[in-house]
């Protein structure tokens, strides 16, 4: 990794940003604040790392991830937009995670936090959609805050899309975690061909492949991790869907960019608006998907 000292900037507080060659020589930003460090690749505006000083990393990143242009990174926070899941003849989870985003500004604040804003340039893939802009603001402090702002530039037509911040969390042992905040919520069970069900568990445990789209829920979700002695809190705004995913053994073995045993150390609890919660954005309006990820000891 090369650190270009000339491009390093310090703010009036203690937060700072450095431009580095990341893995696969792909450009990335390293953000350092008094509480935490983070790494963000320009491809996909992809946050691959966030770690508070006194904690293990918050985000899981696969040891087998590709770091190649046009290939998704396995772990961290892929930005899923403008569609979620497969689409005939097109890449799964949209094109935003595969494209280089432009760095528009970064702002170390006097309180020590650092905000970085990216914009998705006009790629040919976007031209089949209405004119829109997509901005992504990552704020690093003692928490990680993410905002995906999509603006419909059309004067007359709705922009219909899905969005999802596909957060991969690092856990100590999948057998020793539970997820709360989803009891009573309707979900589509992708493992059973999208069968519609209702969550009955107060404390959801994962003991096999889980791939669920929870609908019409704006509530915060918590991951209680007994082996890392940590609680992760996921608070969201302008998000009605929560997706929970762990590939478990057989799927893990089929994924070339994921270690066979890595399913034990991760869980995805994703926030966005997908399936029946897709967004119909009126002309000239913006949607602001916002996520606040915080953590602390149990």
For the annotated catalytic residues, the residue numbers are 166, 270
Residue 131 DSSP label? S
Q: Are the beta carbons of 222 and 214 closer than 8 angstroms?
A: no
Instruction: State yes or no: residue 93 binds ligand BG6 (CB under 6 A).
Output: yes
Find where tokens 């006194």 sit.
54
Q: Which is nearer to ligand BG6, 16 or 190 (CB)?
A: 190
Q: Which is nearer to ligand BG6, 10 or 63 (CB)?
A: 63
- Of the candidates 66, 190, 233, 288, which one interacts with ligand BG6 according to CB under 6 A? 190
The helix/strand/coil state of 46 is strand
Q: Give me the 143-182 binding string for ligand BG6, x by CB under 6 A, dash otherwise.
A: -----------------------x----------------
* CB of 173 vs ligand BG6, minimal distance in Å: 21
**Structure tokens that stand for 64 in this block:** 């087998």
Q: Contacts with ligand BG6 in 209-248 (CB under 6 A)? A: 211, 243, 245
- Of the candidates 11, 22, 44, 72, which one interacts with ligand BG6 according to CB under 6 A? 72
Find where tokens 């450009």 sit.
27
Q: Are the beta carbons of 45 and 99 closer than 8 angstroms?
A: no
| Cα 277 → chain centroid | 18
* CB of 166 vs ligand BG6, minimal distance in Å: 6
What count of other Cβ atoms lies within 10 Å of the Cβ of residue 3?
A: 12
Cα gap 289→272, rounded to integer Å: 7
Q: Which residues bind ligand BG6 (CB under 6 A)?
A: 72, 92-93, 166, 190, 211, 243, 245, 270
């Amino acid at each position: 990794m090369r650190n270009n000292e000339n491009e390093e900037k310090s703010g009036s507080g203690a937060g700072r940003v450095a431009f580095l060659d990341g893995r696969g020589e792909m450009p990335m930003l390293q953000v350092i604040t008094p509480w935490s460090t983070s790494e963000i690749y320009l491809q996909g505006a992809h946050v691959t790392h966030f770690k508070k000083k006194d904690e293990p990393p918050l985000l899981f990143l696969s040891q087998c991830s590709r770091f190649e242009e046009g290939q998704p990174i396995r772990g961290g926070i892929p930005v899923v937009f403008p569609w979620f899941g497969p689409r005939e003849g097109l890449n799964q989870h949209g094109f935003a995670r595969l494209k280089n985003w432009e760095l528009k500004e970064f702002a170390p604040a006097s309180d020590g936090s650092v905000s970085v804003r990216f914009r998705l340039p006009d790629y040919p893939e976007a031209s089949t959609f209405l004119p829109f802009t997509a901005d992504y603001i990552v704020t690093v402090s003692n928490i990680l805050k993410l905002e995906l702002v999509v603006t419909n530039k059309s004067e007359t037509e709705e922009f219909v899309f899905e969005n999802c911040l596909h957060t991969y969390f690092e856990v100590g042992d999948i057998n020793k975690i539970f997820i709360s905040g989803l009891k009573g919520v309707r979900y589509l069970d992708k493992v059973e061909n999208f069968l519609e069900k209702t969550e009955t568990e107060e404390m959801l445990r994962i003991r096999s492949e889980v791939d669920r789209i929870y609908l019409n829920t704006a509530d915060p979700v918590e991951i209680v991790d007994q082996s890392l002695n940590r609680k992760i809190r996921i608070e969201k705004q302008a998000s009605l869907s929560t997706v929970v995913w762990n590939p478990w053994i057989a799927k893990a073995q089929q994924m070339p960019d994921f270690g066979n045993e890595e399913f034990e150390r991760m869980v995805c609890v994703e926030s966005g608006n997908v399936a029946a919660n897709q967004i119909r954005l009126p002309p000239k309006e913006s949607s602001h998907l916002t996520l606040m990820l915080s953590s602390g000891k149990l």
